[in-house]
Structure 1
Amino acid sequence: MYQCPKEGSIDLQDSQLAPGLPVKACSSCGGAWIPPEDYANWQRSQIDPDAPVSVAVLPLSLSTSFQPADLDNRAALCPDCRSYLVRGRITLKQGSFYVERCPSCNGIWCDAGEWELLGQLDLQTHIDYIFSADWQGQVRELEHGERERQATIDKLGDDIAHRVFELAELLEQHPNGDFGVAYLMRRVDQ
């Protein structure tokens, strides 16, 4: 019998997250253990093997009422092989949450509500991507860009900041945009 990785004394029950995807669910915390072979079978039924993999990087501006589960930060053991689960961070505007995967057997743990959010983000069929260095690098880059954008708004005010963003986009697209940037730098340095 599988036990909940977050609430070790609770036995997991047979359930389903999506049609054709059997899981072991916790009746207490609402999380679900996705056995690796069941996920792989479901994933194959969802993906066209000839289509290129395209996973969108999460926009930090995603508007959702999702709140991470109370137990999201709790360390967890794989209900199958008892290895510690590794965490893949997903950053939203209102905060982060973690999807967990076993490094030994590749089973996946989703806390309550995470599977549905992964669906909204088109990540359900590519959960392994969340654990890649590429994904984590893109997350860091997005966070840096969002912090820089917010700092610009804070320093210049909403109106001027949005004009700067618009001008930056125009200059990025223009073949001689670097000339415009150099001009602005000379003007501001005076």
Structure 2
Amino acid sequence: MTQQCEACGGVLLDMSDYRQWRQQAAPSAESGAEDHEVSDSPSARGCPSCTRLMQRYRVGLTPDFRVDHCPACQLVWLDKGEWQTLAQAGLTASLGEIVSTAWQRRIQSDELRALRETALRSKHGDACIDEIKRMREWLNTQPQHEELIALLRADW
């Protein structure tokens, strides 16, 4: 069951239909350069089926909007432009994961990491943080990276 609201352009999607579509759909390159205007609702909406408040799930840091999901009825509400933005970001096959606790925790962790990096850049400067990131990436490719880190700390 998929229903589109003519007034606002939003779409109500049954997750069982979505899962069936996902099993039948061939993987494709979804990303594109075209930006879509997203009309993200500022507050939770009532489920059209059971009238309970739908839970709002953040899609990501980029794109930053929320989809509404009723866990009881397994319905998802997508505001105008949200499906197109998911497609542009290559996330249409991830809708089931987006409405999971694990996905939401990862977004929170990513957001905290980004805030921490911003604070560190403010304190130490972009050049310093960029160099540390470069060194970290290099160290992570080394088989004995722990030993190399210990060497950096040691007074050798």
TMscore range, shorter length? 0.7 to 0.9
The answer to whether 1:76 aligns with 2:45 is yes
**Deviation at residue 162 of structure 1 after TM alignment:** 1.0
Equivalence map 1:1-190=2 (5 Å): 23-46=2-25, 68-69=38-39, 72-93=41-62, 96-185=64-153
Q: Distance in 2 between matches of 1:105 and 1:180?
A: 53
Deviations 1:22-48 (Å, cap 9, x if unpaired)? 632223322111134432332232168
Q: 1:106 to 1:169 in 2, by over 3 A?
A: same
**Deviation at residue 78 of structure 1 after TM alignment:** 1.5
Q: Residue 109 of structure 1: SS of its match in structure 2?
A: strand
**Deviation at residue 106 of structure 1 after TM alignment:** 0.6
Report how many aligned residue pairs link the two structures.
150
Q: TM-score, normalised by structure 2?
A: 0.77
Consecutive unaligned residues in structure 2, runs of 5 or more: 28-32
**Deviation at residue 80 of structure 1 after TM alignment:** 2.2
Q: 1:40 to 1:168 in 2, by over 3 A?
A: closer
Q: TM-score, normalised by structure 1?
A: 0.65
Identity of aligned residues (%): 27
Consecutive unaligned residues in structure 1, runs of 5 or more: 1-21, 49-62
Q: Distance in 2 between matches of 1:40 and 1:76?
A: 23
Greater mean deviation of Cα atoms: 95-104 or 113-122: 95-104
Q: 1:114 to 1:38 in 2, by over 3 A?
A: same
**2:30 matched residue in structure 1:** none
More helix by share: 2
